[in-house]
Amino acid sequence: MKQRNLSKKLLATTLCVLFVLSITACGGNNSSSSNQENTNSESSNSEYTLSSFLENEPVIFYKVHEFNKDAKPYCIYYFNDGRITAMTSLDDWGKTIGELSEMEDEEIIESAIEAQKEYIRKQRQVAIEEMNSAIEASEEKYAEAMEELDDIKSQLGAEKYAECVEEIEEEYSLDIKRNITVSGGGESEGIIQISIRELLELTEELANSDESVHSSPYEIRINTDATGNNTETESICYAINESASIDTFPFFYDTENESGWFNSITFNSYTTGIVMPIYDTFYVTLTTESDDYLMARVDDENTYITVDEVGAKETVTDENSDEFKEMVAGEFSNRYEDFIENCPKIAALIGDLWKK
């Protein structure tokens, strides 16, 4: 009997010990699991400011009106090696975010650059066609005016007839030089004198030149609110690209009028980055000042981007730095040297303007 009671006591004690160990073990596992989950959660959150996000080069931003798989970017901003390549005329590119999500970055940039070049080619061809139409119309009007004048020649004296001929030639001649305003952007502009026939010749020279898509240095500028202490908007500023038309050449610029020599992408201060998947790719979407969206690939859905605070490293506040202005001036100088080789006639014509 005593033996049986002893056995029961030993069994109860053993079960009790096992139960305690079981509880301890379960508690330990839960704690470990919880800690691991917290660690994973913390490590998976990627929080960036705009400037720190751009350090993860290469970075591609797609500008769209809406963010979904069918959205078609009409601008691309490619950040690499501390420079930006802005392709801002991609309306006819036709690629959707869904298609781009399945392409490699290198393939995307190559395709976008070719689309930008195709736009430039088309615009230049349109300019040639418009010039030819203007020449044809001018010749027809000249012929009509001279025919009408000859019909009344007998009623005019020789002197009056000569005056009328001179007026008609001034109005319709293809060889008389006229003032044309050449713009560098903003209020930066100059006047050149050129005839319609010469203008066509220069347009053809431009059309036959290389349609370069240049990269540019950029600077991140914080624009403060009324107090000067808080970020209201944040801009990425970069040197403007060449125009496709003969009457706009940003090789000259007015440093007193900054809008004449750089473009900018401006983000609202409430930008935090909405992350959404497009097929198997995650995109963070930022809101611009114009209420469009910029989308960029990210590694996961826990990525957040905010504007920089006032005084952040790698940024300037309210005004662009003199160093950046000098870099842009050097950029234009280098581009102009290349331009002289490709379009010597145009370069000779606007040579006095480019350093305005």
The residue count of the chain comes to 356
pLDDT score for 340:
76
Distance CA 116, CA 75 (A): 10
**Cβ neighbours, 10 Å, residue 246:** 25
The owner of tokens 């293809």 is 174
Weakly modelled stretches of the chain, pLDDT under 50: 1-43, 185-186, 247-248, 250-255, 259, 356
Q: Which pLDDT does position 183 carry in this prediction?
A: 57
Alpha helices in the chain (DSSP H): 2-44, 50-53, 97-100, 105-151, 158-172, 196-207, 322-342, 344-350
pLDDT for residue 303: 87
DSSP string over 68-129: STT---SEEEEEETTEEEEE---TTT---HHHHTTS-HHHHHHHHHHHHHHHHHHHHHHHHH
Q: Is residue 299 within 8 Å of 283, Cβ to Cβ?
A: no
pLDDT digits (tens, 9 = 90+) for 91-144: 899 999 999 999 999 999 999 999 998 888 888 888 888 888 888 988 899 999
pTM: 0.74
Q: What is the largest CA-CA distance in the chain?
A: 155
Q: Which residues contact 310 (CB under 8 A, 6 or more apart)?
A: 222, 224, 228, 229, 230, 231, 317
DSSP 132-158: HHHHHHHHHHHHHHHHHHHHTGGGS-H
Q: What is the pLDDT of residue 172?
A: 85
* Chain segment 32-68, per-residue pLDDT in tens: 344 434 434 444 578 899 999 999 989 999 999 988 9
Per-residue pLDDT, 174:
82
Residue matched to tokens 């050149």 = 192
Domain-wise residue ranges, the chain: 100-350
Number of alpha carbons in the 13 Å side-chain half-sphere of residue 138 = 18
Distance separating the N- and C-terminal Cα atoms of the chain: 115
Burial of 182 (0-12, 13-18, 19+ CB in 10 A): buried
As given in the structure block, the two tokens for residue 198 are 């010469």
Place of tokens 């009106």: 65
Report whether 13 contacts 21 (CB < 8 A). Answer: no
Percent of the chain with pLDDT over 70: 76
Q: Distance (Å, rounded) from C-alpha 231 to C-alpha 274?
A: 20
